[in-house]
Chain A
Amino acid sequence: MSRCNIGNNIRVMRFHNNEMTQQELADRTGVTRQTIVAIEQGKYSPSLELAFRIARVFNKPLEEVFSYLVVGNDEKD
């Protein structure tokens, strides 16, 4: 069984947006700073709606902010 994770570039995106703070991103997406921290550290996969809200803050398409990683070699098409 393969293990799937949602990767993200939020830290890099924040850096490129005038070093936006986690709190500012949290306020603009309507979640707590702890949730942004958890997403950045890969401890929480956000809902589709939250993922879109985060991408919208950075004015980027979803796939530039988030990526789908498949860990393991038994992926089936």
Chain B
Amino acid sequence: MDQKERQVLVTILATILIFVVYSLFVYNRYIAPDPEIINNSSFWGKAFLLLIPVAIVAQIIIHIIFAIVNKAVTNEDIPSKDDERDKLIELKSIRISHWIFTLGFMLAMGSQALKMELSVMFITLIASGFLSGIISEGAKLYFYHRGV
């Protein structure tokens, strides 16, 4: 497993960790005391907006820790720039991510067309965002490992 593959694997694990921890935090802090809040669009708006900076900061911290541990263990630096192969893999994985999120978005809109609860739309959007991120990174791992 080369540096890039390890880096992608760390991103996948970090994404899962951040999603699980943040979901548990939101559930215990807001949903458990007041279950009706899930039908409040303002709550979902705040939950989405807060998730973005939290995820970015957590990813940065996790990657800094990974870079330090990786350097100590392998004595190799993580490549600081992306070359043409990295960019091609990035483009291919973004395309996969785009299609999965689009499918999730359509399902979310479909839930509203079928007059389901507001929470169904937001949960579908969050799930599709999470899945598209994970599958996109998984695709990168596949392309780095099997070739592109």
Question: How many of chain A's residues have a CB under 8 angstroms from any CB in B?
Answer: 15
Contacts of A32 in B (CB 8 A): 4, 79, 81, 83, 85-86
B:82-140 near A, CB below 8 Å: 83-86
Contacts of A44 in B (CB 8 A): 85, 147-148
- The answer on a CB contact under 8 Å between B84 and A43 is no
B3 at the interface (CB under 8 A from A): yes
Contacts of A50 in B (CB 8 A): 84
A62 at the interface (CB under 8 A from B): no
Q: A44-B85, A47-B84, A50-B84 are in contact. Are A34 and B147 (CB under 8 A)?
A: no
Contacts of B147 in A (CB 8 A): 38, 41-44
B29 at the interface (CB under 8 A from A): no
Closest A residue, CB atoms, query B5: A34
What is the distance, in angstroms, from B102's C-beta to the closest C-beta of chain A?
Answer: 28
Contacts of B86 in A (CB 8 A): 32, 35
A:5-54 near B, CB below 8 Å: 30-35, 37-38, 41-44, 46-47, 50
Closest B residue, CB atoms, query A23: B76
B:24-83 near A, CB below 8 Å: 79, 81, 83
- The answer on a CB contact under 8 Å between B148 and A31 is no
What is the distance, in angstroms, from A22's C-beta to the closest C-beta of chain B?
Answer: 11
Residues on B facing A (Cβ under 8 Å) = 2-4, 79, 81, 83-86, 144, 146-148
Residues on A facing B (Cβ under 8 Å) = 30-35, 37-38, 41-44, 46-47, 50
